[in-house]
Amino acid sequence: MSKVGIIMGSTSDMPVMEKAIEVLKGFDIEVEVDIVSAHRTPEKLFDYGKNAHTRGISVVIAGAGGAAHLPGMVASLSPLPVIGVPVKSRNSIDGWDSVLSILQMPGGVPVATVALDGALNAGILAAQIIGASDKCVLDKILIYKEGLKQKVIEGAKQIKK
């Protein structure tokens, strides 16, 4: 069974990252959640990045605010796909610093980047990556997408009344 590692720079990021946890649990994907600060716990960051794949993690979702080095540093150390979630923090420059820090990775160190505070999409993207090789997860994603479609159709019916 695949597992997604969800890490963030501090506990203040948890309200944003909770959306990824919830959606992954809805797809019955196991999650491992931890606080790993690129600046305050660099040894833990290195251990996490180098060893996450040995614990059965298939995808890493890393949320960070401000300078947002966490996703890129994990991507530099890990063979796993990394999804970065820029978090609008209290010391942020309206979130742009986080977005650009995660988005502007050098060649050879990719980080898939979602929107500011976009942990929901990070969770869905992680599930889709896993679903590419796991039919059970793929089937749940298909059902989820159909539900999105039906919600729009129902909303359209409501406004036409």
Positions at the binding site for substrate? 10, 13, 40
Q: How many Å apart are CA 115 and CA 22, to the nearest integer?
A: 18
Print burial letters for 91-111: b (CB count within 10 Å at least 16), e (below 16): ebeebebbbebbeebeeeeeb
Binding site members: 10, 13, 40
Backbone angles phi, psi at 107, to 5 degrees: -55, 135
Tokens 């890493």, residue located:
60
